[in-house]
Structure 1
């Protein structure tokens, strides 16, 4: 090939390459024409500056990709920071609603949610026990009775406070607490504001779940304390330990009958010790039909569904018994006996159910 022919070929290849670049710029212009003006100008300016600098088509494309990657990272960082700031201030529901569309919230493994009522003198002690966990978990407060006391607690401990509109109700408040936790964690403990949690509670729950990820409910043994935090003897808890014996055989506790057996003769599970695996829990787990046996009814429902019950035999909960507790109020107005009788009759029929209810009610005198 002579020099003249080679020169013509080089010019032709150059024209071809230039045409490819022009087509690329035209495509980019059409693609970006639907975007906001600010986004159109920046990539176009980058391409033009790159062309002036003598960069190849491949280099210009790579530079444009780097620009968009950096912009995306900055946007995500801003969203994350803004969401954390809003949540830290305890803004009611704002972080979830405002930022969930921009950046999907990553769920943690476990979270505590405390349903708060009135101005409990034991709430701070409960929060402090949760903050001392060896495996720290995020803590959320929720209430249907907002007041200055709860706002102060939320501000001092930097805990988000979520408010439910409507009348206070045990079942509705617990369902609301479960939903607050469900959006943020796979495992949710509905912590009771009067009770104390052992520093190994979260560690034990997460370890149990790691061994049996098919679990639907994880719970521990409990010990009773008085208003001053002193241990109390409790015959009823000893009886419940006997009822819970089937739960010791964990390899069987995915079977409905095995899960239900300890619940046929009373509520053998301490509700404040429970951690719920949200994937196995329906939206309205707790029924508003009851005031005292709300938890027992929910456990019976979970026992019939898919998922294993995991029982941690160590007492990792200190259950506080005092005169202002909701349990005591229901015992005084005899609502407990009425609801327990109804549940026993559902399980065992009218005659046997009524008899078991009378025997079971004696545990109130031992508690």
Structure 2
């Protein structure tokens, strides 16, 4: 199989917008001021003059998901966001998060030379009360989990990626770039909320291809009281879904033990 070559025109940031986030303009600025200028679009299921105005201000295409009113699920939004991009590589940019200037450049560079890439994902930091932090327990544990996947020769290993996923979801969803041509037609399956990304990684991990790890902190995930992650944890939705995911890798008794310790790490998502 020939090695793949990608350029700036092959990549799209698709900003998944919802409501009127006070942080979204910072996100837009971070993806439109990349050192490697790629494509940027905005997708939403909650159209408004606010969002349309921002799209016009920054000269980016604006797409409205008309089907969301009939199927209220985040999976629908994310699938729609990917479908609106006409490029081989797609990053779903979460509206509250920030992307460092070399994100697109380094992701595209790491895709080059692969044979059948599935996804790429990067290391990341968190933004807490306006302060960027990276050297914290939760993130360091995830880096340990991802350590075996640093070498390029490990990227095609289904065994290694599934072992990594069997202990939790160390892959940061907003840092992921997808290669739709090598993935299932329906990337995200409705039903999950907090575990929708982990569910996708598990499905993708079974396929032939490469999980491309960019071992650089290239995006910043914002933690705040109104975030979906915080709300799910406080409502125990995440705990239930995490257990279901562990059961995909382990017998139930072992899954219970792992989930007990995994839940403690989630506390760091609360401010």
TM-score by length of 1: 0.68
Query: Which one has a larger percent strand, Structure 1 or Structure 2?
Result: 2
Residue in 2 aligned with 1:315?
217
- 1:232 is displaced (CA, Å) by 6.1
Task: Give distance in 1, aligned partners of 2:103 and 2:174.
Answer: 12
Task: Give distance in 1, aligned partners of 2:115 and 2:98.
Answer: 26
Task: Give distance in 1, aligned partners of 2:268 and 2:140.
Answer: 10
Residue in 1 aligned with 2:80?
176
Residue in 2 aligned with 1:261?
163
When residues 279 and 145 of structure 1 are mapped into structure 2, their CA distance, relative to the original with a 3 A threshold, is same
2:176 maps to 1:240: no
Q: What value does the CA root-mean-square deviation take over the aligned residues?
A: 1.4
5 Å-filtered alignment, 1:223-302, equals 223-231=125-133, 233-302=135-204
Task: Give distance in 2, aligned partners of 1:114 and 1:315.
Answer: 20
Q: Report the secondary structure of 1:318's partner residue.
A: strand
Task: Give distance in 2, aligned partners of 1:256 and 1:311.
Answer: 14
Higher relative contact order (CA 8 A, sep 6+): 2
**Offset from partner CA, 1:297-321 (integer Å, 9 cap, x none):** 1011111102101111110011110
Residue in 2 aligned with 1:35?
none
**Offset from partner CA, 1:277-315 (integer Å, 9 cap, x none):** 121122211111200010001011111102101111110
Residue in 2 aligned with 1:136?
37
- Structure ID, larger Rg: 1
Which structure 1 residue ranges, 4+ long, deviate > 6 Å from structure 2?
none
Gaps of 5+ in 2: 1-7
Equivalent pair of 1:236/1:366 in contact (CA under 8 Å): yes
Residue in 1 aligned with 2:241?
339
**Offset from partner CA, 1:256-275 (integer Å, 9 cap, x none):** 11221211100010111000
Task: Give distance in 2, aligned partners of 1:324 and 1:180.
Answer: 27
- 1:255 is displaced (CA, Å) by 2.3
Equivalent pair of 2:44/2:64 in contact (CA under 8 Å): yes
5 Å-filtered alignment, 1:122-161, equals 122-161=23-62
Q: Give aligned pairs, total.
A: 259
Task: Give distance in 1, aligned partners of 2:187 and 2:213.
Answer: 20
1:362 to 260, 264, 268: 264
- 1:147 is displaced (CA, Å) by 1.2
2:91 maps to 1:198: no
- 1:236 is displaced (CA, Å) by 1.0
Gaps of 5+ in 1: 1-106
Query: Which one has a larger percent helix, Structure 1 or Structure 2?
Result: 1
Task: Give distance in 2, aligned partners of 1:332 and 1:250.
Answer: 38
TM-score by length of 2: 0.92
